[in-house]
Chain A
Amino acid sequence: MKRVTRALAVVLSTAMVIASLAGCGGQSTKSNTFKIGGIGPTTGAAAVYGLAVKNGADLAIKEINAAGGINGYQIEYNFQDDELDAEKSVNAYNALKDWGMDILVGSVTSGCCVAVAAESVNDNMFQLTPSGSAVDCIANKNVFQVCFTDPNQGIGSAAYIGDNKLASKVAVIYDSSDVYSSGIYAKFAAEAENQPFEIVAAEAFTSDSKTDFSVQLQKAADNGAELVFLPIYYTEASLILTQAASAGYDFKFFGCDGLDGILGVENFDTSLAEGVMLLTPFAADATDEKTQAFVKAYEEAYGETPNQFAADAYDAVYIIKAAIEKAGAKPNMSVSELGDALEKAMTEITVDGLTGLSMKWTEDGAVNKAPKAMIIKDGNYSLIQ
């Protein structure tokens, strides 16, 4: 027994020595480039998301380097796989630190992001997650988000409907058994108080009763709703659209990013979705110049159409560039100094990106951006100008 303990002690102390050496190594390789690390699942169940982020950031970094870098400094890029596992995500973070990372883009998914954020706060490493949407991701002061938090979609939707005077009477149909949907609804209802429209019907359904929506639609009609807000996923939305059409109701429909994908439902009559509006950060077939240029470059480089995650990552790199320029930061600053400088700069910059115009950040790390509204026209998503 004693021998085992002693052996263990030797192993542990060796490990500590190696770890501290590695730490020193990380500090001593300060060079004349900004080292941006990325973490996300490039294999496994969520590989689509991780690969999109990896490529999206890669594309932006290549563009920036080709145009002369940030403040004259080039960017080095290293992306690590976390296989959608929080523990592996933290390991990837440590590996990137050893490599000499200055700034982190990641993690891609909410769960991993929360785990890495708990580590990165100790180093005051500047961390920008392209797509971790949970509120917990940005609990620490060093973490910022590119995507909307779930509740913010509710506020954004209410503000959009109010500002554009889409309707004066609004009905909501939401899934009370789902955090995404009920979270958006709660914020939407709170924000609606400040808006020039009235919620005349708020009807719920649950995962056990999501086939018949006749009652919810009838109640919306009885209460004189002109617009129905659908903070739900596209499967149920396709049912609601079909039932509304067959019962002869004439509503405007408005949704969030959960509706993104409704045109992809197999055999769905896309004419039913004609005129449906949705707030989604990005749609590859949007017709604005910036999106088209990005989609073209991405398709040429990686041979596939970029999704929302690729756009989020592309924006993330340009946001970092804007923050570094604002702060006048240099690569020879320590990780913590850089963190302080960028955290301050983040609250001062405004960035126009693919996933939102005039993006601004508050100290808590949440993004405030004018959401992009899409309308479904001729079977395609198109940006409302």
Chain B
Amino acid sequence: MSFLTYLINGISLGSVYAIIALGYTMVYGIAKMLNFAHGDVIMIGCYVVFTVVSTLSLPTWLGMILAIVLCTALGITIEAIAYRPLRQAKSSLAVLITAIGVSYLLQNVALLIFGANTKSFSSVVNIEPIKLFASTGNAGLTVTGETVVTISACIVIMVLLTLFVNKTRAGQAMLAVSEDNGAAQLMGINVNATISLTFAIGSALAAVAGMLLCSSYPALTPYTGSMPGIKAFVAAVFGGIGSIPGAFIGGILLGIIEILSKAYISSQLSDAIVFLVLIIVLLLKPTGILGRKIQEKV
């Protein structure tokens, strides 16, 4: 019975990682850069929902829509101001360091505006927990509304994104840019617009992930996004960075490993175990579980 609870919690946590990891993996696949500010876009999304719903007492759906719109705009802006000018830089380190800078900038802006005090996020999910196996007291299996919504949202997003990439012209353009951005440009694809679109989608997903994250774990601080962001990045590498199904599988596996190692090995060592598994996977399969072999062009 406990095992089932752990498994469900693991999948739920993993689903959040997976949605965040989708943002990392799409940006990496297409722009070949690591957007370390992704985790902080999540945090900004949460603050938008918090401000709209809890401070201004407006309806939850309005907060959600505003968060998605604002995060999308934020993602496009960050790309245009901080990353695009550096895309042709000699060293790929330049854009990586800029991304870390943007991450700290967002954290400190949030610190300035909202302060360091923890805020308690009101869940955007309004579904009663499901009690399985008639239970008394602390026994039995309870699946919270947040868990159900998180897991379903993750599956829906994953399916829609796969369809989008494979079936639409914009999606095809993304694939082409990720394959070879010079050749794609020669074929008449607007590379800048495609990369902007990628950031827009990634950041919108970040807003969704943030709402789900904070609904399940409702303590909101300016650093809320940073650790889940790093874990999701690990999930993306784990599943094979650049691959959409890879991010999904990596996220879910990471969540399950984290929760099960906490439950059956040691609650203190769970992070160590997660990263150990990552190292082992990368040693055996350097491009991740679903990663493609990269052929170096000469």
B-contacting residues of A (Cβ < 8 Å)? 176, 203-206, 208-209, 211-212, 214-216, 218-219, 221-222, 224, 234-236, 238-239, 242-243, 246-251, 264-269
Contacts and interface: CB of A to CB of B under 8 A. Distances in A.
Interface residues of B, number: 39
Contacts, number: 100
Given A209-B262, A214-B5, A249-B138, 8 more contacts: A204-B268, A205-B268, A212-B9, A216-B267, A234-B118, A239-B219, A243-B216, A246-B123
B120 A214 contact: no
B218 interface: yes
Nearest to B217: A211
B219 A215 contact: no
B219 A235 contact: yes
B287 interface: no
Contacts of A269: 120
B168 to A, nearest CB: 35
Contacts of A219: 2, 263, 267
B271 A214 contact: no
A265 B13 contact: no
A208 B227 contact: yes
Contact of A238 (B2, B118, B138): B118
Most A-side CB within 10 Å, residue of B123, B139, B228, B262: B262
A242 B122 CA distance: 10
Contacts of B221: 235
A239 B54 contact: no
19 contacts: A204-B267, A209-B270, A212-B216, A212-B258, A214-B6, A214-B9, A215-B9, A218-B263, A219-B267, A238-B120, A239-B218, A242-B120, A242-B218, A250-B138, A251-B138, A265-B119, A265-B219, A267-B50, A268-B120
B271 A206 contact: yes
A8 to B, nearest CB: 46
A214 B117 CA distance: 24
Contacts of B267: 203-205, 215-216, 219
A246 B131 CA distance: 11
B40 interface: no
Nearest to A207: B227
Q: 9 nearest interchain CB pairs?
A: A221-B138, A268-B120, A211-B217, A214-B9, A215-B262, A235-B118, A204-B268, A248-B142, A266-B119
Interface in B186-236: 213, 216-219, 221, 227-228
B182 interface: no
A247 B142 contact: yes
Interface string B242-256: 000000000000000
A371 B119 CA distance: 30
Given A176-B268, A248-B131, A265-B118, A218 B6 contact: yes
B146 interface: yes
Contacts of A209: 227, 258, 262, 270-271
B129 interface: yes
B144 A246 contact: yes
A107 B268 CA distance: 35
A266 B120 contact: yes
Classify the secondary structure of A's interface with B.
mixed
Contacts of A238: 118, 120, 218-219
Contacts of B142: 247-248
A247 B129 contact: yes
B50 A239 contact: no
Contacts of A268: 120
B85 interface: no
A205 B50 CA distance: 26
A214 B122 CA distance: 18
Given A214-B259, A235-B221, A208 B271 contact: yes
Most A-side CB within 10 Å, residue of B227, B267, B268: B267
A247 B263 contact: no
B271 A267 contact: no
Contacts of B271: 206, 208-209
B238 interface: no
Nearest to A225: B138
Contacts of A222: 2
Given A205-B267, A222-B2, A267-B122, A212 B13 contact: yes
B117 A265 contact: yes
B83 interface: no
Given A212-B9, A265-B118, A206 B144 contact: no
Given A215-B6, A236-B219, A265 B120 contact: yes
Contact of A212 (B129, B139, B217, B218): B217
B121 interface: yes
B244 to A, nearest CB: 25
B227 A212 contact: no
Interface string B2-42: 10011001000100000000000000000000000000000
Contacts of B119: 265-267
Contacts of B146: 246
A206 B5 contact: no
A204 B228 CA distance: 19
A96 B217 CA distance: 50
A264 to B, nearest CB: 8
Nearest to A211: B217
Interface in B41-80: 50, 54
Given A218-B5, A247-B129, A247-B144, A206 B268 contact: yes
A267 B259 contact: no
B144 A250 contact: no
B219 to A, nearest CB: 5
Contact of A267 (B5, B121, B138, B213): B121
A224 B136 CA distance: 12
Contacts of B139: 221
Contacts of B144: 246-247
A269 B54 CA distance: 12
A282 B54 CA distance: 31
Contact of A266 (B9, B117, B131, B137): B117
